[in-house]
A and B are shown apart, each in its own frame.
Chain A
């Protein structure tokens, strides 16, 4: 056997071993990952498949029978003005919340990255609302915005303004946005970490080249933290689109009746889905709505990735990394 053939045989054997997971490390890897893997199959893939099955039936959640109705739930959902209205509200929420959260979080992070007095205390104050349980935060805002006894109207009264009915009509949508923006501190923390990871020599080089503060931010800081910003855009978008709990908690009713009392302005998509499941007992229809929404989120995420791929700057040159391998 020639030396070349011997080398090829060794390489081939190594590849086969790697594929089959011969070494002990591979076994340990799968052993460690198996709880997650099994959990995903049982608690995500199986429910997804089950919801897909239900979406082709007219099941009401408690009846013993599930009649197969094909694509009727999907065609009904797509023809239902209420679904489009709730989708529109959800889209509006995302259009407002995502940019404000990202830009606001970045702006605050830039400020808190400066060497100022009480910097640690200020950082803690900004981050604090993010660790307050969302239920407690939402209920507190609900009390603050109460028309007759809330502090917001009390503050407005100082300037002679009449009390506003915040919790009804379209104004309750503003309350929902305030509640959601209250947790902006989580993004600030991520941006702060990203800002501190920007190499100082890049800023020094920019300064030597005569760049002012804005130029340095635009040409150095922003590209350097762009992968982190893309991550935030994607996770915040998905999170906002799936918003449910704050809208439900802002409902005037408590308990199971809460879902039917959510003001129209706050009937965002997941509220609509929940109401279809548990108020109207339309399990099949609600499952179809969820699957349509799942596909919509998938499309939004792919588009975000595509756009992000063109604008995000990665510090590692992937082509160079490929060559080394």
Chain B
């Protein structure tokens, strides 16, 4: 009798297909079970954040106090987050920009409602939370109202900018003051005076890096009492006179070549390196930039903080990031995740961060910790304190991601700069492109586009 076990090509192929089928079913199963949050409660907290922010010593400090709740830190990566969400196994805590992500994550049921936790917290008393935390509120139609879906980590008012006093003095440009911000037209005019070129090279740009992002456009519109989104956040309109003016300003900057733009990109990716090297006279950044300035005493001598410029007549200085963290609604360690957030935004770690100057604290009790020993720090804090009264929470649509909206506008920008598109055509086509994205988001949310 032949007892030899045959392994045929057919059986191998069949087995492989069967295995793939099981894997597929398994993956689908994971996804399905994930929606019910059936995963085991073990292994500690998984936090998706930036390694440079939550450093090893922070994790060590947490584990020393909470030995039963270890932390697994995974690098902030939207692609990975999407994959984890799709698989139904999101991280317990996720870093996000509250200003542009709150509506999106809250309306999709991804984020945990933190109100019950905050109301019970002995660390985060409601009155002690800085107003900026309201950016993380969403009531289904508006940001700034309703349940709280995240907590700010450190924050700034992002339309503000830093400037080089020496470059301003050399060009005879008046310095901005806390109570008298520049207009955008003045910025363009003064930037031209401070831009220096030689043999095709730019020795110094006058203006900070600009891009027609939805955040930048919204900030400009807010000073005219206008908005990019309609009331129910289902559409944008860049063809309004105010929005056209904002787009035109960005086109004018690129044409005038007085700062890095999408047509002439900043090779460093952000404004600190060229500002530190005196290659730009202004840097687009809020109060947090002071943390970088502290690293170079020479830069500290000429760096000063200016209030947000104005396009219209109304002073508005929003936070277009309000960086913080949200807890996954599917987390099975919700209590531990909130305990971590409490500890991180209001504990000793938050105090250390406040003292460093890398942003404003999320709780008012730590404001006194902000650095003011150096002249630039004292002046920046004074400008910031005055600016806070103009903080306004802007609603961002839940039906698209800010990167997608900004990319749709940026896609058309080069043609507006080279003259292939008039500003009116640019505005019209950008409106159509973004509304198409919003329509798709609404369809997925089960709403009529």
Contact = CB atoms under 8 A, between A and B. Distances in A.
Same complex origin of A and B:
yes
Interface of A: 20-22, 26-27, 30-31, 33-34, 37-38, 40-42, 45-46, 50, 58-65, 67, 82, 142, 146-148, 153, 157, 161-165, 167-169, 251-254, 256-257, 259-261, 263-264, 275, 277-282
A277 B80 CA distance: 12
Contacts of B267: 142, 146-148, 167, 252
Interface residues of B, number: 56
B13 interface: yes
Given A21-B6, A38-B19, A163 B404 contact: no
A46 B20 contact: yes
B410 interface: yes
B407 A162 contact: no
- Name the 9 nearest CB pairs between A and B, nearest first: A252-B265, A162-B200, A163-B200, A260-B407, A41-B20, A63-B444, A27-B7, A163-B201, A254-B269
Interface stretch (B41-49, B290-298, B307-315, B435-443): B435-443
A259 B79 CA distance: 12
B279 interface: yes
A63 B108 contact: yes
Given A42-B20, A64-B35, A256-B78, A279 B407 contact: yes
B4 interface: yes
Interface string B176-207: 00000000000000000000000111110000
Interface of B: 4-9, 12-13, 15-17, 19-20, 23-24, 35, 77-79, 82, 85-86, 108-110, 199-203, 262-267, 269-270, 279, 400-401, 403-404, 406-408, 410-411, 414, 437, 440-441, 443-446
Contacts of B79: 256, 277-278
Given A37-B12, A279-B404, A167 B444 contact: no
Contacts of A256: 77-79, 403
Contact of A37 (B13, B109, B411, B440): B13
A281 B266 CA distance: 26
B12 A282 contact: no
Nearest to A143: B267
A59 B83 CA distance: 13
Contacts of A38: 16, 19-20
A162 B17 contact: no
Nearest to B105: A62
B16 A41 contact: yes
A63 B16 CA distance: 31
Nearest to B269: A254
A95 B206 CA distance: 41
B162 to A, nearest CB: 20
A216 to B, nearest CB: 46
B110 A42 contact: no
Contacts of A251: 265
B241 to A, nearest CB: 27
A264 B411 CA distance: 8
A252 B445 CA distance: 34
A252 B5 CA distance: 60
| Residue among A142, A263, A281 having the largest count of chain B Cβ atoms under 10 Å | A281
B17 A165 contact: no
A302 to B, nearest CB: 24
A45 B403 contact: no
Contact of B407 (A60, A264, A280): A280
A280 B408 contact: yes
27 contacts: A21-B6, A21-B7, A21-B8, A30-B7, A30-B12, A38-B20, A41-B17, A41-B19, A50-B24, A58-B440, A58-B443, A58-B444, A61-B86, A62-B85, A63-B445, A65-B444, A147-B267, A148-B203, A162-B199, A168-B263, A252-B266, A253-B269, A259-B407, A263-B265, A277-B79, A279-B407, A280-B407
Contact of A60 (B35, B270, B444): B444
A260 B403 contact: yes
Given A62-B82, A62-B110, A282-B437, 8 more contacts: A34-B12, A67-B444, A148-B202, A148-B279, A259-B407, A264-B411, A280-B437, A281-B401
Contacts of B12: 30, 33-34, 37
Contact of B78 (A21, A58, A65, A278): A278
